[in-house]
Structure 1
Amino acid sequence: MARLHPDTLAHLPAGVERPRYRRDALQAGIVHLGVGAFHRAHIAVVNEAALHASADLRWGTVGVSLRAADTRDALRPQAGLYTLALRDAADDGSPREALQVVGNLLDVLVAPENPQAVLARIAHADTRIVSLTITEKGYHHDPATGALRLDAPDIVHDLAHPGAPRTMPGFVVHALALRRARGLAPLTVLSCDNLPANGDTTRGIVLAFAHAVDAGLRDWIAAHCTFPNSMVDRIVPRTTDADRARISERLGVDDAWPVIGEPFLEWVVEDSFANGRPDWTAGGARFVAHAQPYEKLKLRMVNGAHSALAYLGATAGFRTVDRAMAEPALRAFIDALMREEIAPTLPAMEGLDLDAYRTRLLQRFANPALQHQTKQIAMDGSQKLPQRLLGTVRDRLAAGRPIDRLALAVAGWLHYLRGVDETGATHEIQDPLASALAQRLAQAGAASSMQDRVAFFTGFAPVFGELGSEPRFVAAVARALGVLEAHGVRGALAASEPNA
């Protein structure tokens, strides 16, 4: 089978969308760090719509992989082309799929192979935006406080080796130093990761790194570069070999790495750009003065509920999110968690019907066509829990309100960290703090009571901060974990009901 390539676009089936602009005229105005599935199924697709709607071709993208070469190796023979498959279920429950070939990804650089090329691309005169989907762990910060960990080994390396950085702060700051030295315009650094106040957090991390390099550079970045807050939302499961085979068969050409997504998409961005931007409204983005309310809504309702569903579902042995949602008690728990414990912590937002939002979210989670793996969502819990669940816990405790369901979600993570589910199947704990968490869990097991076990574990400050010593939090998690260990997930869900 021939490969997906600009030369084969004309031969694709009539129903497949494809680029309608001159790719050979695109300039690389955007450098995107973390060119994974989410970027290619969300941000790049919105950017594609902007290019279709405008004659402004300054906004092509060069992607950067900070770790592996697999995305580059798959897409470079395709000249950066790839397919987005939007999947949902028809009225009869059968899966359906719409295909679009996306064209604005011009190249993928692999940072470990050639860090100088990444620095040169960010420092290029055409570059105006550096966008980020590097996951929470890519910020090298303390999840509990948001502060850069200047003692992290890769940060120490990047401060000592400005020509060969490894991390986002290293690449951004050292490239900005080059731009400043050359008299080039400043940049917008646009975080699209699931962090509270992600732009403000990124700004603090970048400025802290820059200050350690040169106070004058730090001041230049602070005065001239912008760091908009943003909120992104689309469920993007991991692509499987079956997905590749199915999509390639439908295309009639081989696509080495298509991406899968749900039809729903949301992107809210603060309109604060240092050197221009595309008109992403053409792809459904909204520009606002302040994104924080939208961030909090998404982090708590979507991501918080997703993590709770993943830890409890995976521990029960449910492989996919839709299978977990098919368990009536688990679906009812997630519904009640959002309605009774998360929603009351959210600010009022004009035009938002929270009940309708929650109902739609439950439908999105139950989408059987996505086959979203619970273990994918369960990754990197130490980086995710502080903003997805623990911020909500803090607000509930400050208001004197109960946290029983939130505590069960946190206990679900602790239970998941054992590495074995209720069917006896083992799973790897994929987390940047996996060794420290395993050691903490083992030491906690020596405690004489469940209360003491949980108190020791939640004393792990990088995740829990001061919350770990809050007696009401410790007691609630200890109660939930005790039921989980004694009666399993289904027993704990039953016990979580008000009349249980």
Structure 2
Amino acid sequence: MKLNRSNLDKIIAASIPNQRNLNAQVGIVHLGFGAFHRAHQALITDVTMKELGGDWKIVGVNNWRAAGKPIPETGTEQEFAQQDNLYTVAVGENESVSLEVIGAVEEVLFSNQVEKILAYMTSESVKIVSLTITEKGYCHHPSSGRLDVNHPLVVHDLANIDEPHSAIGFLVAALKIRKEQGITPFTPLTCDNLPENGHVLKQVVLDFAEQLEPELATWIRDNVQFPCSMVDRIVPQTTEQDIAAISKQLGADDQCCVSTEPFLQWVIEDKFNNERPLWEQTSISNILLTDDVIPFENMKLRLLNGTHSSIAYLGYLAGYQTVANTIADPDFKTFIRYLMDKEISPSVHVQGIDLEAYKDQLIERYQNTALQHRTWQIAMDGSQKLPQRFLQTIQYGVEHNVSTPGLALAVAAWMKYVSGVDERGAAIDVRDPMASNFFHIWQTHAESLDEVVSAFLKLDTIFSAQLASNEVFKQQLVEYLDQLTQLGVKQTLQRFMQTHSIQIK
């Protein structure tokens, strides 16, 4: 039996949509229709329409061009269409799994369906265009936050604005049409892991529009709000084993399902151009509308994402395939908690949050064996993630006299990871837009780790000039890269904890 509308009344193992959300009209276009969005914003919007009504159905867009992949002949669009755009969210905590069928999606499109996508994005009924396009989808320099005008997608879109390939090109193209037709602009709502993500999105959109048509840039600056937001939920990449297990429990074949954890959080700057769903008024907790998202962003990016990436690079090099496997090792668990308490927490300042409880909860979330969150998946695109996950915290330490040797060790582990060879000599499939740069550094300077580190620090799209010139930071990187190379991760961690008098817990 296939999951679809005609079979909904036969589903007894899951919560299912009601007529409110099934019959609603489109109000949101989402760029980057991946597993995270389906388990987070789409689920929250689904519950909002179920409980409160409103026309907030979602049109999802998968931007394969921006991901550097060819447009597939079959894929997510067809799979969703075959299921009447229904899918299941499986919430797992160790051995317990609950299911919810989501009815918030109207249609899923590929980015080559430009005319149809822009028709939705320029419709008066669409009030929000949200994004989860990952850090690299912003076509920007992570160290400065400015648009990379030499990015191939940007070059293409500036010359062909009616046929955009990038998410930024789609936003500007749609806003241009709405301006020309006198339609109130939608609110661009970024949900990606970038510090001050709304400000970053505004900057790259304005940079793009300025290159395209300065008058358009002025109109966007005067008329369009770009709220910041912080999203939090661990959503691993869905595997064939996940699909088989969820379909079996559901009693229906679901090729579009996703797995996630019980925890969910969404903090949104209450700054919209027009109407929005009343997400914060639903039965879901941890949804907050606020005037200042930035402290929440820093907390999440540094404590969760920073330690997640530390687990990914160190854990993968040590041979651990998942976060749960890695954190089950007492050395890793102790090191990660040390990072949270001694090196990261001093840079986190957020009112109304019990930080100790938040850190305890993070460790519990990492230990959840229901989530087979692969270290390799988290390790992707490190060049786009390092500034906000590691380097800003290290810079805070430099400016406020907080020692951060553990974060330097994590950065050194990243440098070792992108060499493309793990500590057992096996090849690593490094997925990163700068992978060729890293390969060249290692090929050219492999005989001298000092030269390797120096070459990495010259990558000014990642490292700020201030941090790159910091001799203490550089020497820490050389020392830890040498230890990782000579001793491996486990012995390096043990030596680190002995040196810093950290008791294994």
Same fold per superposition (TM over 0.5):
yes
Indicate yes or no: 2:388 matched with 1:383.
Answer: no
**Which residue pairs with 2:267 in the alignment?**
268
**Which residue pairs with 2:59 in the alignment?**
62
Aligned partners of 1:322 and 1:366 also within 8 Å: yes
Give 1:24 deviation, angstroms.
5.3
Aligned partners of 2:420 and 2:439 also within 8 Å: no
Q: 1:453 to 1:424 in 2, by over 3 A?
A: closer
**Which residue pairs with 2:123 in the alignment?**
124
**Which residue pairs with 1:403 in the alignment?**
404
Q: What amino acid maps onto 1:79 in structure 2?
A: D
Please give the alpha-carbon distance, in whole angstroms, between the structure 2 residues aligned to 1:139 and 1:55: 33
**Which residue pairs with 1:438 in the alignment?**
439
Q: What amino acid maps onto 1:453 in structure 2?
A: V
**Which residue pairs with 1:150 in the alignment?**
149
Q: What amino acid maps onto 1:5 in structure 2?
A: N
The farther-off stretch of 400-409 and 302-311 is 400-409
**Which residue pairs with 2:189 in the alignment?**
190
| Secondary structure, counterpart of 2:461 in structure 1 | helix
Show CA shifts across 1:244-303 (max 9, x none).
Answer: 111111222110120010000000000111011001111332100010000000000000
Q: What amino acid maps onto 2:323 in structure 1?
A: V
Please give the alpha-carbon distance, in whole angstroms, between the structure 2 residues aligned to 1:229 and 1:312: 31
Indicate yes or no: 2:179 matched with 1:180.
Answer: yes
Q: What amino acid maps onto 1:83 in structure 2?
A: T
**Which residue pairs with 1:365 in the alignment?**
366
Please give the alpha-carbon distance, in whole angstroms, between the structure 2 residues aligned to 1:344 and 1:406: 13
Q: TM-score, normalised by structure 2?
A: 0.94
Aligned partners of 2:21 and 2:53 also within 8 Å: no
| Secondary structure, counterpart of 2:452 in structure 1 | helix
Give the paired residue count. 488
Gaps of 5+ in 1: 90-94
**Which residue pairs with 1:463 in the alignment?**
462
Please give the alpha-carbon distance, in whole angstroms, between the structure 2 residues aligned to 1:231 and 1:23: 25
Please give the alpha-carbon distance, in whole angstroms, between the structure 2 residues aligned to 1:201 and 1:84: 30
**Which residue pairs with 1:138 in the alignment?**
137
**Which residue pairs with 1:92 in the alignment?**
none
| Secondary structure, counterpart of 1:170 in structure 2 | helix
| Secondary structure, counterpart of 1:97 in structure 2 | strand
**Which residue pairs with 2:32 in the alignment?**
34
Aligned partners of 1:237 and 1:371 also within 8 Å: yes
Give 1:339 deviation, angstroms.
0.5
| Secondary structure, counterpart of 1:61 in structure 2 | strand
Please give the alpha-carbon distance, in whole angstroms, between the structure 2 residues aligned to 1:268 and 1:129: 16
Aligned partners of 2:303 and 2:345 also within 8 Å: yes
| Secondary structure, counterpart of 2:19 in structure 1 | coil
Correspondence 1:79-478 to 2 at 5 A: 79-89=84-94, 95-112=95-112, 114-281=113-280, 282=282, 283-284=284-285, 285-347=287-349, 349-447=350-448, 450-466=449-465, 467-478=467-478
Q: What amino acid maps onto 2:184 in structure 1?
A: A
**Which residue pairs with 1:480 in the alignment?**
480
Give 1:162 deviation, angstroms.
1.3
Aligned partners of 1:315 and 1:422 also within 8 Å: yes
Gaps of 5+ in 2: 65-70
**Which residue pairs with 2:42 in the alignment?**
44
The farther-off stretch of 373-382 and 426-435 is 426-435
Please give the alpha-carbon distance, in whole angstroms, between the structure 2 residues aligned to 1:6 and 1:97: 23
Give 1:21 deviation, angstroms.
3.0
Aligned partners of 1:36 and 1:71 also within 8 Å: no
Give 1:23 deviation, angstroms.
4.6
Give 1:441 deviation, angstroms.
2.5
Please give the alpha-carbon distance, in whole angstroms, between the structure 1 residues aligned to 2:146 and 2:249: 47
| Secondary structure, counterpart of 1:461 in structure 2 | coil
Aligned partners of 1:80 and 1:103 also within 8 Å: yes
Please give the alpha-carbon distance, in whole angstroms, between the structure 1 residues aligned to 2:480 and 2:21: 55
| Secondary structure, counterpart of 2:29 in structure 1 | strand
| Secondary structure, counterpart of 1:22 in structure 2 | helix
**Which residue pairs with 2:67 in the alignment?**
none
Q: TM-score, normalised by structure 1?
A: 0.95
Aligned partners of 2:423 and 2:485 also within 8 Å: no
Q: What amino acid maps onto 2:490 in structure 1?
A: R
Show CA shifts across 1:129-180 (max 9, x none).
Answer: 0000000000000011111001111101000001110001100001111111
| Secondary structure, counterpart of 1:237 in structure 2 | coil
Please give the alpha-carbon distance, in whole angstroms, between the structure 1 residues aligned to 2:423 and 2:475: 24
Give 1:446 deviation, angstroms.
4.4
Show CA shifts across 1:428-458 (max 9, x none).
Answer: 10001111121123223244xx333312222
Aligned partners of 1:459 and 1:469 also within 8 Å: no
Please give the alpha-carbon distance, in whole angstroms, between the structure 2 residues aligned to 1:75 and 1:137: 26
Please give the alpha-carbon distance, in whole angstroms, between the structure 2 residues aligned to 1:200 and 1:444: 38
Please give the alpha-carbon distance, in whole angstroms, between the structure 2 residues aligned to 1:270 and 1:452: 44
Aligned partners of 1:403 and 1:476 also within 8 Å: no
Please give the alpha-carbon distance, in whole angstroms, between the structure 1 residues aligned to 2:464 and 2:196: 18
Aligned partners of 2:21 and 2:46 also within 8 Å: no
Q: What amino acid maps onto 2:250 in structure 1?
A: L
Show CA shifts across 1:40-84 (max 9, x none).
Answer: 00010111111112132x111000011055221221111110000
Q: What amino acid maps onto 2:160 in structure 1?
A: H
Please give the alpha-carbon distance, in whole angstroms, between the structure 2 residues aligned to 1:151 and 1:325: 41
| Secondary structure, counterpart of 1:32 in structure 2 | strand
Show CA shifts across 1:388-426 (max 9, x none).
Answer: 000001000112222210100001101111223234432
Q: What amino acid maps onto 2:388 in structure 1?
A: Q
**Which residue pairs with 1:53 in the alignment?**
51
Aligned partners of 1:444 and 1:457 also within 8 Å: no
Please give the alpha-carbon distance, in whole angstroms, between the structure 1 residues aligned to 2:440 and 2:346: 36
Aligned partners of 2:309 and 2:379 also within 8 Å: yes
Q: What amino acid maps onto 1:338 in structure 2?
A: M
RMSD: 1.3
Q: Percent identical across equivalent pairs? A: 41
Give 1:104 deviation, angstroms.
0.6
Please give the alpha-carbon distance, in whole angstroms, between the structure 1 residues aligned to 2:412 and 2:22: 53
Please give the alpha-carbon distance, in whole angstroms, between the structure 2 residues aligned to 1:444 and 1:460: 15
| Secondary structure, counterpart of 2:372 in structure 1 | coil
Q: What amino acid maps onto 1:98 in structure 2?
A: S
Aligned partners of 1:444 and 1:454 also within 8 Å: no
Q: 1:18 aligns with which of 11, 16, 20?
A: 16
